[in-house]
Structures are given as C-alpha cells and as structure tokens.
Structure 1
Amino acid sequence: MAFQKPSHTFTKIHLKALHTNNFKILFALSFTVFINTVSFAQDIPKKGKTIERTVKDSINISTDSLLIPKPEVSEISQDSTLTDSIKPKKDLLENIVIYHANDYTRFNQKKKKLYLYNEAKIEYGDMNITGGNITINYNTNTVYAKGIIDSIGEYTQKPIFTQGTNVVEPDSIVFNTDSKKALIYNSKTEQGEGTVIAQITKKENDSVYFLKNAKYTTAEDLDDPEYYIKLRKAKINPGKKIVTGLANLFIYDVPTPIGVPFGFFPQSEKHTSGIIIPTFGEQDDRGFFLQNGGYYFAISDYTDLAVLGDYYTNGSYGLRLENTYAKRYRYRGNVSFRYENNITSERGFPNYSKGTIYNLRWSHTQDSKANPSSRFSASVNLGSSNYYQASSNQVNVANRLNNSLSSSVSYSKTFQGEPEVNLSLTATHSQNTNTEVINMTLPTLQGSVGRIYPFASKTGSKKGIIQNINLQYNLRGENRIQTTDSLFFKKEMFDDAKIGFQHTIPLSTNFKLFKHFSLSASSNFNEVWTFKTIDRAYDPIERTPIDETINGFDSFRTYNFSTSLGTTVYGMFNLEKEGEDRKIKAIRHVMRPSISYNINPAFDKYYETYEVISADGLTTSDVEYTRFENGAFGAPNKNFSSSVGISLSNNIEAKVKDKDSTATEAKKVILLNNLNFSTAYNIAGDSLQWSPVRMSGGTQLFKNQMSVNFGATLDPYALDNNNKKIDKFNIDNNGSLFRLTSANLTTSWSFSSKKGDNKGSKDKNIEENLRGGGRNDDLFGVSEDFANRQINEDKDKKDKEPSEFYNFKIPWSLRLAYTVNYSNTRRENEISSHSLMFSGDIEMSDKWSIGASSGYDFKNLGFTTTQLRFERDLLSWRMNFSWTPFGTYKSWNFFIGIKSSILRDLKYEKRRQGDRQL
C-alpha cells in the first residue's frame, strides 16, 4: 500500500499562490497550463522520404474540409513507451483511498503527515482502520492509530483494524503500508470460539501473528474474564491454529498449576477431525479407568463420526460409535452403537462375573418437503435387556425402570390417481426387558386402494343408502418372529417364523334415518393365506398331542356383518335469572347414544378332530382343532356369535362469567371432557349373555394444568362360594345391581410460579430419556450420558439478559402424578397399586438451580427411585451434581467443565456408581 505524495498536489498549491482578484488573468493562465499539459507535438517524418509537391489551381480549391481525406495515424506507432528499455514504475496507489474524520483533516507539508481526528476512518482495498486519532506518515509509509481522551478523562474511540475477515481491537496500532507489518498494543481479536487478548502483537503478514503475554479465553466479559489461559509467547495463523509455548490456567487472575509446556489450539471455522481426550477415574469393582477417549471424524458438512472407547484395569472395556447426519430440506438423523465387555471383581473371587451388553439406536426423520409421495422414517432402540441396568458409562435412572424396548423402520409410497393406492414396508421390534422375549416383524407389507363409490353421482354430494355404498381393498403381509435375548441375531431365531397374508374388503354405507338418526351398515370379507399348517395327533406313550408342521400354501375365508344406529342429544340448563348476575350462566350437556348389532358366522368346516386314547387302548374323546392354529393371523371363528352393543358418551360444559370486564360474552369451561358407558348382550350365548359395563371418563382442571382420568368395570353377575362367576344376576343374589370388579384413577398436575408456564422446566437430558424409550418428563429422574458430554455442543446458553433489578420471587416448578388401581374380580377387595410420583425444580438465582425426582409407594410403604440434583452456571463454565441416595442403583456424579467445545476437555469429573452384578 502507498499513499499519494505531496508533489501530486502541486497544481492545487500553484493555484493558491496565483490567487488574485483578476479573474480573467487567472482563467487564462489556468487554460494555458491545461493546453500545455494535454497537447501533443507535431510528428517529424522519417528521413529518406520526400515530400511530394503538388500544384493545384487556386480557383478550383474546395472550401469543404470534409471532402479532404485525412491520413490515418496509428496510436501504436506513436507510443514511444513500446520501445522504451526502462520498465514503467508501478502505480503509487493500487486502490482508491477513502478517508474521513468528523473534526478535521489536516496535512503538514513540511513533515509530510496527514492528521485525521475524531471518528477517523481509512479504507484501502480490504483494509479498514477506524479510531479517534489517525496519523499517516508519507515518508515512512506508516499509519499510526489510537483513541482519544474525552472530556471526563476516559480513553474512547479505540482503533479497530480490519483486514479481510480478521478483526483486531487494540489500544493503538502502527502499520506499515509497504511491508504490511504492524505492531498492535493491547489487542482483542476473536479466534474461533475464543478471544485472544495480547499486550503486544506483531503482525508479520496476513496469515501470521506473533504475540507476547497474551490471554486466551471464551469468556464474554473480556475486561474481567473469569478465566483465561496465559500464553507467554504464541503464534497465530488466523482461522487455522494457535501454537504456544508455556501456558497455564488462570482463574480470576489467580494462577493455577494446570498448564502445559506447549500447546496447540485449532481454529478452523469448519468441522475438523481431532482427538477426544478421555476421562480418568476409579471404580471399586473394576479398578482405574479411562473413559470416553477416542477420535472425532469430520467426514463432511453433512455427516460426522465419533469413535469412543473405555478401558478398565481389571480387563473390562467398551466401544461406542456415535454418528449424526443431516441435509437441509431432505433428512436428518443419528446412529449410536455401544458395546461393553464388563468384568466384575477379580477371577477367583466369589463375586466374579463376566458378560457383554450392547445397544443400537437409530433415529431418522425425513423432511416433508423432500418427497410428498414417499416417506422413510426410523426409530430403533434394541439391545441387551439389561443394558441400562449394567452399563457403566451412564446414569440412566428413567430407562432402568422401563420394561420395554421398541423399534420401527418404515417406508411408504403413495400413487396418486383415482382411486389412490398406498404401499408401505415396516420392520418392527418389541422387547420385554423382564422376560427377555423379543417379537419382530421382518417385514410387514401393507397395501390399500382408496375408497370407491360405485353408485355415486359424478357431480354433487352423495345422498341415500345406494350412493353412499363404498368398498376398499387392504392387503397385509407379515413375517413374525418370536425369540429371546440368547438367540437374537442367530439363525435359530428364524426357525419358528410365521409368514402369512391377509386380504380384507370392507363394504359399507351410511344414511340418515328420521332426520335425527345416523345409520351405518358394513360387511367385511377376509381371506388369509398361510404357508405352514399343522396336523395334530395324540401320542399314547407320551400321553400328549403332537403337532406335525406341513409346509405348503393353504388359506381360509371368513366374513361378518355389523350395523349401528346413533344420534346426538343436546341439553341446555339456563341458570340466569332476571336481575341477578350469576357466575355460572348455563350448563350444556351433550349425549351421544348408539346401539350396534354384530353377527359372526361359525366356520367350523375348517376344524378337524383327533382321538385321545387312554392307557388301556380305548378312545376316550375326540378333540377339535384347526390346522391354522399357529398362523400369523390366527384361526377362523369356530362359534357363531350374535350380539348387540350399547354405548353412551357424555360431554358437559359450562358458561361462566369472564373475569375480564371488557369481554362481551361468557367464557366456556369444560366440566367433564368425556364420560363413556358401554356394554353388550350376546344373543347367541346360552349363559352370561351380558358383558360387564365399562365406564371411563376424563377432564381438565385449573386451566388445563391438571388432567384427571378414571375408569371402572361393573359386572352384573354374581359369584359363587368358590369366587367363580355364575349365570345369576348379582341383584338376585341379595347384592347390588352391579359388582365393582376394578377401578382406576390417574391424575397429573404440572404448575409453576411463572404465569402461563404449565410444563415447568425442561432438562436437556430428557431427550436421552426419550431415545431410550423412557418418559417425556423427569418424574423418574433425568439421564446423564457421559459419552455425549465429549461430542455434543453446549446448548444451555440463555437468550435472555439477566435483570439489573433484584427479583424477590424465586422461580419454581412442580410436577405430580398420582395413580391408584382397585381390584375385586374374585372378592380380593384390595388396592393393587397406589403411588405418587413427583419432581420439581427451584431456581435459587439466575445461575443456581436445584431439583429432585422421587415418589412414594403407598402399597409397599416405601420411596421409589430418588434423584437429587443441582446445577450452577459459572458463565463460561458449567457445574452440576446428581445423587441417587438409596436403592439398588445408588450413585453420585460431580462435573465441572468449560462449555466451549474447543476447551471441553478442560474439566474435572468425579463419580461413584453402584455395584453391578451381571
């Protein structure tokens, strides 16, 4: 860079010197200078050429100069620089210089300096300098920028030096425009997620800076950072790396013994691969350990991979693969695989045990904009049934209490047209962690053809019983597998697989009857294909029936008929009286009664018999069976059934006076969201024809903060002395009209001190609960995944600024869940389960929060799994503590570390986990 020299301002100075009152003289002289500057001399012809003389008659001389052709003069031939042996000098200024100052711009010709004062600014190419006071020296080609001292003595308008994407905020700066070097004093510059504060910085070129006595921190308050790493000498390659010599950690200017003789801080603005430093510690039953160490692979902008491992001194080890991927407007997901080889105690001791556990999780969601006619999704959570109980790398209280794991991977495709066709393929998995039984469908094929109205008119709405006749076609094919943990992923799991197809064609219609009733009728045709049937015979030696599997195609067909009649009845009870302003204005009751009839024929033609032979060789009885018993879609119905169903649903609302005086209408409040009754009468039955009456209901209270759901089963038949149901009404057996056989009540209440916040505080670790199949709350505690702390970015930054005023109200939230179940099927008359779960959080301040999750079992008289926790926001640091004080999985964990991902390994963690007997 170079600046315009004073000699270039000669014309300006010359005009000032010739300043006179005689405007004509000044104009003439200026015009003369301009003509002399832009005029060219007459060209001299080359030697050897003669000038031809021509004689023309003076009378015939044309006065029209336009008729005389002018000789063409080549500009190239006239350019003397083409043959000049001296190369032209480089332009003094390569870019346009733009400068500005509010107070003054002053040039000193003698010292050859340009002074800019108050909000001064210089722009030259990609370089930009702003400050209170800027001085340019043309002799040395240097720029000096500093701030100014205002009227109250404060140093303001500190310079800001910008070149490309680099921004430096020093107290002062000296910059050489020729060498591009600079000396920067007391600078602050952002490098990646952190900021470098240096006393003296030497800018060698655009890509190299040397620092002395610098500080590196990710704190927000740069004037008084809560921590920093002191760099005695360092080298910075902007956007690439920071290399330093001796460096150690300072906390509020207090040095700590935590340091390194040399250091390397990557500063890439893109995702880069790198080593993940492990956590060290000790476990009583496994010795010392290194956990969650490995390598992070930044594969591309769309996907990454973290490979983590654990090692314990007693021989235990673990491996984890964590992958996330995303593509905007297409899809996003994550894959996690974890494997652990756990050894407890030492070989030869009585409590020695060894075992392996694993867990596979996959979540994939497709953006709705990607393809409107097809969709792929996945939610997989499978593995060892005791994984959450035995894993040593997480404290997952909520998922330990979960008794099931489930998975689903599905693809669906829609073919537009008339009618519309839908196809889908789904693979499902469900696993009971108590019984270790696994049920899978690999896969399930579903197909359907949209509803067809063969008799509907092409225009207008469908009216009447004929025009509303419609039919559909549905196809379902399944490959069902039932296995156990020990046989999972082995060929034996496919031995008892059940394969079959089911075709259904529902035919239905509906129409109005007597204007107020709605009548619907439907018939369903069902055909099942199977590829395995059985042939059953009785073994007189073993005295048990034996089934022989027959491979081959077979099928059966069934059909049924049903109809229903329903209506809606509205009732309004007006409670207002003239002259009175009552709080409750009216109560509205909506009833929806319905009656239905179902008939299912008997398909006994598909049933056969086998003879049971006694020990003396005589036939004692014939037992019926069907060869389709073990099919994927069950067996055809053997007994004829004809039943009538009765149901009644209720909804009760109230209109109350609105507290808002400006409201013109009363406010609607739901008193009872639903109250349902249902029963059935079996016409074809010879006894116990009435089914129990089932009642269920629910409502919302306290502005929808509390939900209440209840249910009960009422049986009209009595019990004999052996507590068996008999064909006699309970009222005829000196009892009540109905016998209460079961009842349940569940309530949940979530409230907080913050108005309108009904959900309470949400912990980030609840997401881990959901991924493991747990609850969408913290009633059973929150999960802590130690591995994810190493690879996940911090998401705890709060957008709101802390208030400058004292808040005398302490924010809190509380969540309650109450459940009680009553059982009296065989005169037990007992409470089968009775518990209260609760969790809560209290924000002691903007930075302190404490929480707890627990419960009490009123039946067994004891507390359920309890978790206590607190968290402290230390600005750039985060500290938390969780404690399970009693129970099988009692443990505690303490963690303190820097939030920034680049310094995430700068942490301290200590935990004590419960003993795990595998």
Structure 2
Amino acid sequence: MTHQKTSHIFTKIALIPLNTNLFNIVLLSFFLTLGTCNIYSQDRYNKTSSIPVQNQKDKSISTPKKDAKSTTITKTISDTITKDSIQPKVLLEDKVRYNASNYVKIEQKKKLITLYDNAELYYQDTELKAGIIVLNYEKNEVYAGRIKDSTGKYTQFPNFKQAENVIEPDSIRFNFKTKKALIWNSKTDQGEFKVKAVITKKENDSVYFLKKARFTTSTNVENPEYYFQTNKVKIIPGKKVVTGLTNLVIANVPTPIALPFAFFPMTKETSVSGILLPSYNDSNNRGFSLQNGGYYFALSDNYDLTVLGDYYTNGSYALRFESSYAKRYSFRGNLNFRFENLINSERGYPDYSKQSIYNLQWSHSKDSKGSPNSTFSASVNMGSSKYFQQSINQSNVGSNLNNTLSSSVSYSKTFPGTVGSRLALTATHSQNTQTSEINMTLPDLQYSVDRIYPFVGKDGVKKGFFKNINLLYNLSGKNSFVTTDSLFFTKEMFDNAKLGVQHSIPLSTNFKLFKHFSASTSMNYNEVWTIKTIRRNYDKEQSAVVDQTVNGFDSFRTYNFTSSLGTTIYGTFNFKPDSKIKSIRHVMRPSISYGYTPSFEKYFDTYATDATGKMTKDYTRFEGGVFGAPGNSNSNIVGFDLSNTFEAKITDPDSTKVEPKKIMLLNNLNFATSYNFNADGKTTFAWAPIRVSGGTQLFKDKLNMNFGATLDPYAIDNAGNTINVYNINNGGSLFRMTSANMTLNYSISSRDSDKDEKDKDKNKQGQRNGGRDDDLFGRSTMDHARGSSQFDDEEDTGTDKITEFFASKLPWDMTFAYSLTYGNNNRQNKITGNSIMISANGDLTPKWKVGVSTGYDFVLNGVTYTQLRFERDLLSWRMDFNWQPFGDQANWSFFIGIKSGILSDIKYDKRSASNR
C-alpha cells in the first residue's frame, strides 16, 4: 500500500449564512476548534509497506537494473488490502509479487493495480509477463496486453505460464479463482504441436476451446510450410486434441485432404499406443498390396510391442513382431520376428509356387552394475536361409550379399574365493545361406578353476622356474548339431546330435633364460567322454564301407608337451642431422617353439576295405567326435616365427615443436613356418609353407592396408600334386608362391576430424541382418515407412546454415575398398579376385543430400551391387528416393512424409515391383 500524506485527508468545514441561536453557536465553535487540527481516518497503514518505493526490494523477484530511462518498481502485497477492527473479506488467496520498469499504479477504490513496461506478475503457479498488466484484486482477475514502442510497433507480447502450459497471445484475461481465461491470438506448444488460434477460451486447468485455429509441427509458427486449419478445437493439455472439420494446408494453399474430425493423443508419456497406417504398393507377381500396417502397443515404460503386417491380393501375407525392452541398471534389448507366406503367380500357372520363410533377431545386454559377478548377453540372427533374398517387404542391402548368419547366447558367472572359478553357458549358431547347412551347439558348457601356484611361498613372489609352476582345471561340455533348414528343430536333428565332455589339466611355467630370453614350457592332459562311437566294416550287401553308431559311454585320454623360447631385438638406423628423416627403428621378435604329441595307437582298430578282407585300414571309433579323436602317429614339430615392426622419426611439420614426430611404417610383418621331424614324405612333408603377413596404416591412419602370401618350398608334379622335392631342385625358384592377397580400406571426409561415433550406427539394422556397418554394400531401406533417414539427421537447416553453406565447402565423405587375390596352387598363375568398391555421400545444397554405393569386379568384368540415394530436407517434411538399377535385386523406392512422430502416418511410400 502506498504512503499517503496526512494533509490530503484532513476535514475542512466551510461557513455559510446561518440563523444564530445558542445551540448553533456552540456547535459551530466546537467544529472550528477541530478544524485547526489534523484528523486521521480509521485506515491504518501496514508498517511493512511504508518503505519508500525507490528503496524497496523484493527478494523473491530479481529486479532489473535501473538506467536513466526507466525505473523498476517491485512490490509484494498481502492477501488483504485494508485492515480494520472488523475482520475484512479475503480478496486473494496468496501473495502477489510484481514489478515493472516504468510505473506501478494502485487504485484502491477500483481495486486495481496497473503495471506498465516490462511488467511481471507472479501469483500461485501463474507467471505473467507483458507490456501492460492490470490486476483487479477484488475480482481475482488480471488483464495483460502489448504496448507500442516509439515507432508505433507492438512489442512486449504477453507470456502466460501456468504450471507447464505456456501461452504467448496478443492479450489475455484470466481469473485466478475460476481459472477461466479469454485469450486473443494465442500461440502455445502442445507436445510436438505448435498451435495458434484467433480466440482461445480456457475453461479450467484441463480444458481449452479454440476458435479459428491452426496447428503444425513446423518450427516457424508465423509462416509454417504446412499446417492444419480448423474452426473448432478442444485441447486437454497432456492428454488429447480433438478438432472439428480439419483441412491440410501446404505453403498456404488448401489441399483437398480434409477430415470431418481429428483426434491426436497428447500424453506426456514417452510413447503412446496407436494404429500404424499401411502404405499401398503393387507387384508383378502378387498383385496389389497393403504394407507395414499394424498397431503399436506402449505396454509400459519398460517394454513395447509393434505388430506389422502385409497383405497381397494373390494371397501372400507377412507378419512382423518387434519389441524393445529395458530396465535401468539391469538390462536392455530388442526382439524381432518376421514371417512371410509367399505365393508366386496364381494356382494353375507353370510359375506358381508357395513357400514360407521366417527370421528371428534378438539382441540383449546386461548391465554389469546390476550383478557384477554374472553376465548375460544375446545376439541372435537365424531363420530361413533365403529370407533376405526372398523377402517381399524390404530391400535388405548387404544382407542379400552375406553368406552367413550367426548367433550367440551366453551366460557366465564368477565364483570368487581363495581359489576362484568361473562358469559359462553358451549357445551358438552358424548358418550358411547358400548351402542351408546349420551348425549349432546347444549348449556349450565351460567351467574353469583359477590358476594355482602350488610352490609359491608366503611372500607371494612368483620368480624363477620352480615358483612359476602353475596348473589349471578346465571342463568343457558340448552338444553339437549339424543339420539343414528343412530339418531344423526336428527329431532327425536331435538324433544326429554329438555330445561330449572334455577335461583338461595344463601344467606350465615360464622363466627368464640368460637375461634376454623368455622361456615357457607346459604339459597338458586331456580326457574326453562321449556317448556315441562308431564301428566301421565292409557291408557285402551294399558293397561299401559303412559306419554303425554305437550308443554307450566311452572315453580316451591324450597328453602332449610344448615349449617356446623368444626374445626382442631392437635396431636403430640414424640419418644425417640435416635429413628430414631422423632415424628408423626396427623391432624384431623371433621365437622358436617345440611340440610333441605321442601316438595313441591303442585307440585304433582295422577294417576291411573290400569283400576279400585282405586290404585293411586303420580307424578309431572316436572319429567325428565333438572334441576330435586321438592320433596314431607321433607329432614332433618345431615352429619358427618372426614378427617385425618398423617406425620412423621425422622432422615435425609444425615448426613450433622441437621433438621429432613418430610415424609407423609397418605395424607388423610376420613370417611363420614349422618343421615336422616325423613327416613321412608322402602325405606329410617336413617343411610347412612359409606364411607371410603384414599390415600398416597410412595418411593419418585413414588408409588401412593388409597383405599376405603363402610360399611353398616343395614342387608339384604334372597333376598338380605336391611332391617331396624342393622347388629349387626341380628347376624353379627357392619358393613357389601358391597364393597372395591384399586389401585396402580408405575413408576420407571434408570434415577435419574423423567421422562421428554415431556414423558407425548409421547402418545398424544392416549390421544386425549380417551386412556391413558402412555404405559399401548400400544401406537398408526397410524402415522407410517409419521415416528413418538414409543420411545423418540434422535438426536445423535454416537460413543461417544456407548463408554459411555458400561461403564454405560442400560437406562430403567417401569410403573406398580394394581387394586383390592371386592363386597359383596348380600353376594357374592368375588373379582370382580383383574388385573395387566405393561409397560416397555429399550435400549438393543444404537441403539436398545424395549418395552412391557401387563397385566393379575386374575378373568378372561387371558392376557390383549399386545403390543411388537422394534425400531432400523439406523442413517439417522429408523426401527420399533410393534406386538399385542392376541385378536381381533391382528396384526403387520413394518416400515423402512428416518427420514428427505423432504425424508419421501422413506419408506417401511407393516401391517398385520386385523382381523376386
């Protein structure tokens, strides 16, 4: 309450002509006496509000800094304006805090407070900022509006915030008690929608009615590239938006697309259940179709489910179930299952066919924080071998070219203690998509006890040959299957299972020899248990050698001895001081190893190879076992290995640096071979071929180069068989190169730094299907219906970026791969493989992105898998076109749709008829 001067409220009596009498004279004298004094009314001032305005501060509101042009006035008023001996009527239910830059005007009679210029008012959960604010504290009502600046332009538009709802209108009237409001030209955000309405009526905290409204997901509310126009809208914040007749307007041009009403869920939850609208397509072999239609179930905060389906008029159909799940600090994963019933042509036609294909993908990972002593993970990709080649719904780039599907599910647990141990259970799966052969272990059990040093003293020091002696215990159990697609998980598959258990106890030690050599030696004992063996004999009725399965427990035991000796040799070659190359360092790590395994002839029997029984061969009943079989000959082998690395020190191009710069010339250059003392010279030879391998990285580690070669010292005869004669003694060179290979991988980009980590996941679904993580085999286009971008998604490509773009270089990136293989096993002396693959992405403009993946096979003289990609950023919309012009997978796809997830069903998705 403002401070008032007493001179403004004293009482004055004016004299007028009166009839004189004693009573009147006395009365007049009394009042005249009173008129000479100051008389105060019964209003009492709140002493807490009697501080001068220019010195008063409200600690709950930050007061703007004062300048020469404006003065900020800040006040806090209580819930009653006047106090009297009689309890007054409560006008406001809470304290009102306010401030303004120009002035604050209080009118007690009208019960009004007027705030002007940068006005702010805070009451309960309501925040209001505007050019002018008028508060009627008797009616619990506030009005806020704009003001004009010196040029006559409206500024300081109201900003009204109540709880989490924010409205930016031209003006607003709001009642604090009834929570009703009348808003003119309001702008507000409702979820992903930006809503603008001529008149808005706020009925209460949970209901808004809008008249002549438009809503969009565009960031430009005043001039959106598209919006939905409607005359009547009902909004329940955080729950739903219901409209009357709604028309889609694009670029301010009304379209024929209209709905009699529309409903949009606006829940604050991260995901909402809803229908997924299908897209229309046609096929040469299956007729018209509806694809990718279904329903999304937001089952809880921890997991969801998407059910999608396709239907073709010839009877073909497809179903897909996709689910993601997660629990914080515990686990996360996703599960996808796809099934397709394919019908080609029509019954009665020669090209009619019918088949069912499926694919299962499961990925699971466990957070180590939840249980540090145990882990569980899964990476599953299994199903019909021809699924990715024959699927009618998606273009599986990369997956079509992959020949192997693999899976692994594993669980491990560690048992800590004085002598710890570890248990691991694993199920593995490997499937050749060309031969349809499946190799599977279910399960693979591994149990191991931690290394034990029985001769270490109390001090725990492990030094020398004796104290370094240690032993382990490993238990391995496998149940292995080899089957095909047609027999997968049938009785025949389990009948052919191979089950075995292996116990292994290695005893080893390591020590230094002559200070510069590292030596190690070990002995290993193995015992294998099996429940199936074979009996081999000649069957006269079949005139062939046959194997009979013998069910029952059996076992065999083997042992071997190994030792190795190695050292490291350093060499440095220094150049002249004025040379750019300061020195080259060569590190050699030679090693020699010896291994001996005796013959276990006691586990071998003989069988007749013909009807006479005179010709016999040795065999062991443990052949084909899951852990192999014992050998019937001594193995007495010495191995030689030499690894090399080369690095150089050069003058640093940066003149400010004094120290020379280190660069790697060769990461590794390895030579390996062995000599068998027990070779028979017929089926086995003394010297093994020398294997040469190496690799390096060049051009700031952007170019990876790997190479290898096999050098055989023995000659071959006219039939191409290796003979026990050195090649140099047969008129040839010292070694005969039987094979060689080289691969180059090079990635460059217009960006100064390497590609962002997220680029590694840009083809994530292609990786899960068995493809590559880059673009060399193209990108998967299977998720177009859900609006996934083929290129790196950038949120804002507005005017600022366009201006910057034309003053800078075009962003681009390229991945290059080259592969060369040489074969000369049988003197063919030819290049068996020679191909190049290139993938490039670039921006033609800030709104246009293009990409290409292609290659050429120089041996087959043909273009490899090729994909062309185009994408246009249409601000709130996205458009892309993908074209694969060559091969059996030739097709194209076109997509245009709204980026926003809530309007993702507003799209057009068209694909060409598949050649499959």
Structure 1 distance, partners of 2:853, 2:807, is: 26
Counterparts of residues 220-231 of structure 1 (less than 5 Å): 220-231=219-230
Structure 2 distance, partners of 1:722, 1:896, is: 62
Structure 1 distance, partners of 2:338, 2:176, is: 58
Which range is displaced more, 130-139 or 511-520? 130-139
- The AA in structure 2 aligned to 1:639 is S
Structure 1 distance, partners of 2:36, 2:426, is: 95
CA 156–866 in structure 1, closer or farther in 2 if over 3 Å, else same: same
Structure 2 counterpart of 1:714: 711
Structure 2 distance, partners of 1:237, 1:759, is: 41
User: How much has 1:339 moved relative to structure 2?
Assistant: 0.6
Structure 1 distance, partners of 2:505, 2:550, is: 28
- The AA in structure 2 aligned to 1:661 is S
SS in 1 for 2:616: strand
Structure 2 counterpart of 1:128: 127
SS in 2 for 1:399: coil
- The AA in structure 1 aligned to 2:686 is Q
CA 666–434 in structure 1, closer or farther in 2 if over 3 Å, else same: same
> Quick check: 1:678–1:694 contact (8 Å CA) kept in 2?
yes
1:17 to 6, 9, 15: 9
User: How much has 1:363 moved relative to structure 2?
Assistant: 0.3
Structure 1 distance, partners of 2:146, 2:206, is: 26
Structure 2 counterpart of 1:630: 624
Residues paired across the two proteins, number: 848
Structure 1 counterpart of 2:643: 649
> Quick check: 1:305–1:324 contact (8 Å CA) kept in 2?
yes
Percentage of pairs with the same residue: 56
> Quick check: 2:361–2:382 contact (8 Å CA) kept in 1?
yes
User: How much has 1:227 moved relative to structure 2?
Assistant: 0.9
Note the residue ranges of structure 1 that are not aligned, 5 or more in a row.
1-8, 38-86
Structure 1 counterpart of 2:201: 202
CA 832–30 in structure 1, closer or farther in 2 if over 3 Å, else same: same
- The AA in structure 2 aligned to 1:818 is Y
Q: Deviation digits for residues 72-123 of structure 1, max 9, x if unmatched? A: xxxxxxxxxxxxxxx9997322111112111100123555432110111122
> Quick check: 1:570–1:589 contact (8 Å CA) kept in 2?
yes
Structure 2 counterpart of 1:44: none
- Give me the CA root mean square deviation: 2.6
User: How much has 1:783 moved relative to structure 2?
Assistant: 0.3
SS in 1 for 2:765: helix
User: How much has 1:758 moved relative to structure 2?
Assistant: 5.4
Structure 2 distance, partners of 1:320, 1:794, is: 25
Which range is displaced more, 26-35 or 833-842? 26-35
SS in 1 for 2:845: coil
Structure 1 counterpart of 2:68: none
Structure 1 distance, partners of 2:124, 2:518, is: 80
Structure 2 counterpart of 1:474: 474
User: How much has 1:909 moved relative to structure 2?
Assistant: 1.2
- The AA in structure 1 aligned to 2:637 is S
Structure 2 distance, partners of 1:343, 1:605, is: 58
- The AA in structure 1 aligned to 2:258 is G
User: How much has 1:279 moved relative to structure 2?
Assistant: 1.2
Pair 1:664 & 2:658 matched: yes
> Quick check: 2:787–2:897 contact (8 Å CA) kept in 1?
no
User: How much has 1:249 moved relative to structure 2?
Assistant: 1.0
SS in 1 for 2:510: strand
2:732 to 725, 731, 735: 735
User: How much has 1:873 moved relative to structure 2?
Assistant: 1.4
> Quick check: 1:141–1:178 contact (8 Å CA) kept in 2?
yes
What TM-score do you get using the length of structure 2 for normalisation?
Answer: 0.89
- The AA in structure 2 aligned to 1:256 is T
Structure 1 counterpart of 2:600: 603
- The AA in structure 2 aligned to 1:681 is Y
> Quick check: 1:537–1:547 contact (8 Å CA) kept in 2?
yes
> Quick check: 1:414–1:423 contact (8 Å CA) kept in 2?
yes
User: How much has 1:209 moved relative to structure 2?
Assistant: 1.0
Pair 1:215 & 2:251 matched: no
User: How much has 1:375 moved relative to structure 2?
Assistant: 0.3
- The AA in structure 1 aligned to 2:120 is K
What TM-score do you get using the length of structure 1 for normalisation?
Answer: 0.89
Structure 1 counterpart of 2:152: 153
Structure 2 counterpart of 1:789: 786
Q: Deviation digits for residues 862-884 of structure 1, max 9, x if unmatched? A: 00110000111111111111000
Structure 2 distance, partners of 1:861, 1:309, is: 41
Q: Deviation digits for residues 470-512 of structure 1, max 9, x if unmatched? A: 1111111000011100111222211100000011111111111
- The AA in structure 2 aligned to 1:336 is N
Structure 2 distance, partners of 1:328, 1:783, is: 30
CA 541–154 in structure 1, closer or farther in 2 if over 3 Å, else same: same
Structure 1 counterpart of 2:520: 520
Structure 1 distance, partners of 2:147, 2:609, is: 110
Structure 2 distance, partners of 1:613, 1:721, is: 30
> Quick check: 2:567–2:590 contact (8 Å CA) kept in 1?
yes
Structure 2 counterpart of 1:361: 361
> Quick check: 2:520–2:565 contact (8 Å CA) kept in 1?
yes
Q: Deviation digits for residues 871-915 of structure 1, max 9, x if unmatched? A: 111111111110001111100000011111100001111110422
Counterparts of residues 30-179 of structure 1 (less than 5 Å): 91-109=90-108, 111-137=110-136, 141-179=140-178
> Quick check: 2:453–2:469 contact (8 Å CA) kept in 1?
yes
Which range is displaced more, 102-111 or 388-397? 102-111
Which range is displaced more, 782-791 or 233-242? 782-791
Q: Deviation digits for residues 192-214 of structure 1, max 9, x if unmatched? A: 11111111111111111111111
Structure 2 counterpart of 1:82: none
> Quick check: 1:793–1:901 contact (8 Å CA) kept in 2?
no
SS in 2 for 1:131: strand
CA 31–155 in structure 1, closer or farther in 2 if over 3 Å, else same: closer
SS in 2 for 1:397: coil
> Quick check: 2:397–2:771 contact (8 Å CA) kept in 1?
no
Structure 2 distance, partners of 1:691, 1:204, is: 90
> Quick check: 1:323–1:336 contact (8 Å CA) kept in 2?
yes
User: How much has 1:11 moved relative to structure 2?
Assistant: 9.5
SS in 2 for 1:493: helix
User: How much has 1:630 moved relative to structure 2?
Assistant: 2.5
Structure 2 counterpart of 1:680: 674
SS in 1 for 2:518: strand
Structure 2 counterpart of 1:501: 501
User: How much has 1:699 moved relative to structure 2?
Assistant: 0.5
> Quick check: 2:574–2:582 contact (8 Å CA) kept in 1?
yes
Structure 2 counterpart of 1:585: 582
1:746 to 740, 743, 746: 743
- The AA in structure 2 aligned to 1:683 is F
Structure 1 distance, partners of 2:463, 2:38, is: 102
- The AA in structure 2 aligned to 1:313 is T
> Quick check: 1:893–1:911 contact (8 Å CA) kept in 2?
yes
User: How much has 1:153 moved relative to structure 2?
Assistant: 3.3
User: How much has 1:308 moved relative to structure 2?
Assistant: 1.2
- The AA in structure 2 aligned to 1:823 is G
Structure 1 distance, partners of 2:217, 2:273, is: 21
User: How much has 1:179 moved relative to structure 2?
Assistant: 3.5
Structure 1 distance, partners of 2:166, 2:900, is: 21
Structure 2 counterpart of 1:696: 693
- The AA in structure 1 aligned to 2:294 is G
Q: Deviation digits for residues 27-47 of structure 1, max 9, x if unmatched? A: 998899989x9xxxxxxxxxx
User: How much has 1:800 moved relative to structure 2?
Assistant: 8.6
Structure 1 counterpart of 2:421: 421
Note the residue ranges of structure 2 that are not aligned, 5 or more in a row.
13-34, 48-85
User: How much has 1:636 moved relative to structure 2?
Assistant: 0.6
Structure 2 distance, partners of 1:443, 1:771, is: 23
> Quick check: 1:292–1:790 contact (8 Å CA) kept in 2?
no
> Quick check: 2:106–2:114 contact (8 Å CA) kept in 1?
yes
Structure 2 distance, partners of 1:722, 1:631, is: 34
> Quick check: 1:749–1:816 contact (8 Å CA) kept in 2?
yes
Structure 2 counterpart of 1:291: 291
- The AA in structure 1 aligned to 2:833 is S
CA 760–827 in structure 1, closer or farther in 2 if over 3 Å, else same: farther
> Quick check: 2:127–2:161 contact (8 Å CA) kept in 1?
yes
Structure 2 counterpart of 1:64: none
Q: Deviation digits for residues 249-282 of structure 1, max 9, x if unmatched? A: 1112111111111110111111322111111222
- The AA in structure 2 aligned to 1:396 is N
Pair 1:550 & 2:547 matched: no
CA 643–88 in structure 1, closer or farther in 2 if over 3 Å, else same: same
User: How much has 1:590 moved relative to structure 2?
Assistant: 0.4
- The AA in structure 2 aligned to 1:412 is S
CA 136–613 in structure 1, closer or farther in 2 if over 3 Å, else same: closer
